[in-house]
């Protein structure tokens, strides 16, 4: 543990509710949470909805649901309240107006009457704002006010010197102060811009560490200048590397993209619905820009909390390795207790089968099937495709390609004979248990001098309709003796029909 983690940190995740939460945002929230928990501090959720034009009401619910799914619980926030409520910026507008007025009174900010059109003109000529209203005489200002022109409040940034912000990952970042060209603090609609709101709120909410995307680095000097202007101590800045597109080229887009023929979604809810386990996603994301120790990539939440340091985060942008996500999700699925996996699988399988969950929860077949597919699926949503044969009647197993019923190195006649003898065994074994079935079938295969794999192939296809299935004797047991016999009979008929 380093000196940086001795003090309990107050860390906030401050998304703007303009759309669905994406993986980059979730990673930021995860790091926020990890650091708050590591230091025994607080994790705070704050909603930055100062852009009323882009506000999307659905995004709020999506956001909270996504955070809860990953297990990121917040100590203060819009729904749970806290000592610095409200936690929604649109409900704090008077606060920002007050601080903007204070800045004006101090001569550190001023009202600017430049219209959008005038600004557009400057931009068209490649020029920044020319500070035209920074030093208005009282008479000039009165005249503009009298015209009823809408005004914004701009920061009167210092005109010389350099400004340095300290980034916990990158060290000092220094820029020429004159490059900060009097940014707008208060918009003409009375709401603050991000810059004012973030500084005021981070100070008022006693935030100690600001973790945010590196796209904020360019405006960090402005924020430093604002903290200075207010006479406040700035928090520690931690600019997280951006997450790149899976192709590795460019920032991850906010739409689905296709790479190597596979579709990738940036949205968290697509992974929730796609059958990824929150534990796996947590573990996966924790490896994006941070690493546990260079050797282990699988670790628990507790282990990550114990070890997480903001100064260990890499400054390098990363492309999400989705192949590794799948692998890791598979690892977590295999680690699951069968009973828990069963519970997690029910919604997916019920949906896949098109039946009600209530019809499935008690179904003995699924209970038996879960351990069989546990090491064969990487995401929950793949389960149905592996076991749907167990939930249909014998007649629904058709053999469109009867040649599949022919085992490797066997003729159609031999396969038919295998099926016949297997049906006989199936009908006679007692008790109808996996080990008994296996012993009987093995003995028979040996007697007929057929490799077990080839011997079992016709039976596998007969029972499941496919050449690939969960282990055979267990599958037979799931179906039961009578159902197994029906399917073998049908298969033999299908094979004879082409034979």
Instruction: List the catalytic residues.
Output: 254
Q: Using CB under 7 A, which residues numbered 305 to 324 contact RNA?
A: 312, 314-321, 323-324
> Residue from 208, 267, 473, 491 that binds RNA (CB under 7 A)?
473
In the bound complex, what is the minimum distance in angstroms from residue 472's beta carbon to RNA?
Answer: 4
Given a contact cutoff of 8 angstroms between Cβ atoms, the answer to whether 289 and 240 are in contact is: yes
Using rule CB under 7 A, residue 248 touches RNA: yes
Using rule CB under 7 A, residue 481 touches RNA: no
Given a contact cutoff of 8 angstroms between Cβ atoms, the answer to whether 10 and 206 are in contact is: yes
What are the structure tokens assigned to 242, written together? 């951006």
Q: Distance (Å, rounded) from C-alpha 73 to C-alpha 33?
A: 8
Given a contact cutoff of 8 angstroms between Cβ atoms, the answer to whether 435 and 464 are in contact is: no
Q: Which is nearer to RNA, 228 or 309 (CB)?
A: 309
**Count of residues binding RNA (CB under 7 A)?**
87
In the bound complex, what is the minimum distance in angstroms from residue 27's beta carbon to RNA?
Answer: 10
Given a contact cutoff of 8 angstroms between Cβ atoms, the answer to whether 48 and 63 are in contact is: no
Using rule CB under 7 A, residue 355 touches RNA: no
Using rule CB under 7 A, residue 68 touches RNA: no
Binding string, residues 430-459; x marks residues near RNA by CB under 7 A: ----x---x-------------xx--xx--
- What does DSSP assign to residue 83? T
User: Strand 171-176 vs strand 184-186: parallel, antiparallel, or unpaired?
Assistant: unpaired
In the bound complex, what is the minimum distance in angstroms from residue 311's beta carbon to RNA?
Answer: 8
In the bound complex, what is the minimum distance in angstroms from residue 14's beta carbon to RNA?
Answer: 7
Q: Using CB under 7 A, which residues numbered 74 to 113 contact RNA?
A: none
> Residue from 8, 40, 81, 218 that binds RNA (CB under 7 A)?
218
Q: How far is CA 261 from CA 3, 151, 257, in A?
A: 47, 51, 10
Cβ of 233: how many Cβ atoms within 10 Å? 9
DSSP helix/strand/coil, 237: strand
For the chain, give the longest Cα–Cα distance: 110
> Residue from 444, 474, 485, 489 that binds RNA (CB under 7 A)?
474
- 240, β-bridge pairs: 213
- What does DSSP assign to residue 382? G
Q: Using CB under 7 A, which residues numbered 362 to 401 contact RNA?
A: 375-376
Which is nearest to 459 in space by CA: 497, 429, 417?
A: 417
Q: Which is nearer to RNA, 274 or 321 (CB)?
A: 321
- 110, β-bridge pairs: 154
Using rule CB under 7 A, residue 200 touches RNA: no
In the bound complex, what is the minimum distance in angstroms from residue 353's beta carbon to RNA?
Answer: 20
Residue 259's Cβ-side half-sphere holds a number of Cα atoms within 13 Å equal to: 19
Using rule CB under 7 A, residue 124 touches RNA: no
Using rule CB under 7 A, residue 254 touches RNA: no
Which of these segments, 70-78, 92-100, 210-218, 264-272, binds RNA (CB under 7 A)? Answer: 210-218
- Radius of gyration over every alpha carbon of the chain, rounded to an integer in angstroms: 32
Q: Using CB under 7 A, which residues numbered 272 to 291 contact RNA?
A: 287-291
Which of these segments, 184-192, 202-210, 335-343, 481-489, binds RNA (CB under 7 A)? Answer: 184-192
Using rule CB under 7 A, residue 487 touches RNA: no
Q: Which is nearer to RNA, 274 or 361 (CB)?
A: 274
Using rule CB under 7 A, residue 413 touches RNA: no
Q: Which is nearer to RNA, 273 or 326 (CB)?
A: 326
Q: Distance (Å, rounded) from C-alpha 257 to C-alpha 247?
A: 9
In the bound complex, what is the minimum distance in angstroms from residue 142's beta carbon to RNA?
Answer: 19
In the bound complex, what is the minimum distance in angstroms from residue 362's beta carbon to RNA?
Answer: 26
> Residue from 68, 251, 254, 262 that binds RNA (CB under 7 A)?
251
Q: Which residue has the tokens 């167990």?
A: 390
- What does DSSP assign to residue 267? B
Which is nearest to 159 in space by CA: 177, 133, 134, 138?
A: 177
> Residue from 6, 159, 204, 467 that binds RNA (CB under 7 A)?
467
Q: Distance (Å, rounded) from C-alpha 424 to C-alpha 430?
A: 12
Q: Using CB under 7 A, which residues numbered 155 to 174 contact RNA?
A: 170, 173-174
Using rule CB under 7 A, residue 114 touches RNA: yes
Cβ of 152: how many Cβ atoms within 10 Å? 20
Q: Distance (Å, rounded) from C-alpha 112 to C-alpha 411?
A: 89
Using rule CB under 7 A, residue 119 touches RNA: yes
Q: Which is nearer to RNA, 190 or 357 (CB)?
A: 190
Q: Which is nearer to RNA, 43 or 441 (CB)?
A: 441
Q: Which is nearer to RNA, 187 or 269 (CB)?
A: 187
Using rule CB under 7 A, residue 150 touches RNA: yes
Using rule CB under 7 A, residue 59 touches RNA: no
Which of these segments, 135-143, 208-216, 357-365, 413-421, binds RNA (CB under 7 A)? Answer: 208-216
Given a contact cutoff of 8 angstroms between Cβ atoms, the answer to whether 163 and 225 are in contact is: yes
Q: How far is CA 423 from CA 168, 352, 365, in A?
A: 70, 31, 21
What is the phi/psi pair of residue 156, to 5°? -90, 85
């Amino acid at each position: 543990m380093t000196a940086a983690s001795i003090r309990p940190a107050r860390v906030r995740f401050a998304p703007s509710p303009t759309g669905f939460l994406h993986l980059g945002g979730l990673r930021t929230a995860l790091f926020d949470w990890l650091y708050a928990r590591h230091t025994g501090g607080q994790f705070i959720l704050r909603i930055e909805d100062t852009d009323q034009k882009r506000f999307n009401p659905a995004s709020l619910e999506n956001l909270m649901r996504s955070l809860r799914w990953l297990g990121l619980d917040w100590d203060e926030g819009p729904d749970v309240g806290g000592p610095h409520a409200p936690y929604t910026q649109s409900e704090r507008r008077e606060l920002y107006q007050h601080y903007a007025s204070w800045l004006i009174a101090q001569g550190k900010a001023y009202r600017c009457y430049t219209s959008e059109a005038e600004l557009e003109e400057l931009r068209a000529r490649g020029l920044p704002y020319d500070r035209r209203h920074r030093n208005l005489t009282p008479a000039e200002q009165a005249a503009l006010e009298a015209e009823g022109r809408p005004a914004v409040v701009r920061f009167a940034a210092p005109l010389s010197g350099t400004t340095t912000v300290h980034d916990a990952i990158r060290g000092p970042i220094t820029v020429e102060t004159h490059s900060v060209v009097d940014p707008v603090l208060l918009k003409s609609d009375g709401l603050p811009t991000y810059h004012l709101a973030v500084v005021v709120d981070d100070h008022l909410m006693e935030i100690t560490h600001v973790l945010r995307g590196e796209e904020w680095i360019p405006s960090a000097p402005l924020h430093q200048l604002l903290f200075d202007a207010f006479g406040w101590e700035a928090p520690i800045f931690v600019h997280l590397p951006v997450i790149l597109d899976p192709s590795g080229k460019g920032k991850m887009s906010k739409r689905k993209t296709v790479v190597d023929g596979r579709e990738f979604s940036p949205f968290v809810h697509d992974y929730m619905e796609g059958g990824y386990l929150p534990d796996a996603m947590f573990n996966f994301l924790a490896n994006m820009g941070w690493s546990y120790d260079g050797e282990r990539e699988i670790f628990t939440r507790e282990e990550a909390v114990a070890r997480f340091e903001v100064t260990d985060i890499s400054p390098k942008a990363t492309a999400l390795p989705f192949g590794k996500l799948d692998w890791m999700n598979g690892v977590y699925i295999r680690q699951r207790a069968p009973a828990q996996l069963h519970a997690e699988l029910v919604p997916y399988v019920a949906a896949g089968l098109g039946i009600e969950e209530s019809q499935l929860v008690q179904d003995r077949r699924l209970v038996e099937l879960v351990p069989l597919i546990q090491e064969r699926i990487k995401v929950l949503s793949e389960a149905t495709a592996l076991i749907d044969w167990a939930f249909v009647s014998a007649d629904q197993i058709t053999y469109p390609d009867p040649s599949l019923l022919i085992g490797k190195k066997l003729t159609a006649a031999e396969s038919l004979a295998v099926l016949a003898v297997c049906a006989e065994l199936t009908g006679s074994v007692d008790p109808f248990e996996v080990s008994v079935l296996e012993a009987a079938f093995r003995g028979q295969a040996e007697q007929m001098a057929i490799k077990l794999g080839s011997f079992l192939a016709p039976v596998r296809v007969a029972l499941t309709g496919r050449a690939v299935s969960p282990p055979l004797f267990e599958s037979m047991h799931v179906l039961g003796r009578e159902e197994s016999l029906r399917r073998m009979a049908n298969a033999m008929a299908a094979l004879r029909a082409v034979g």
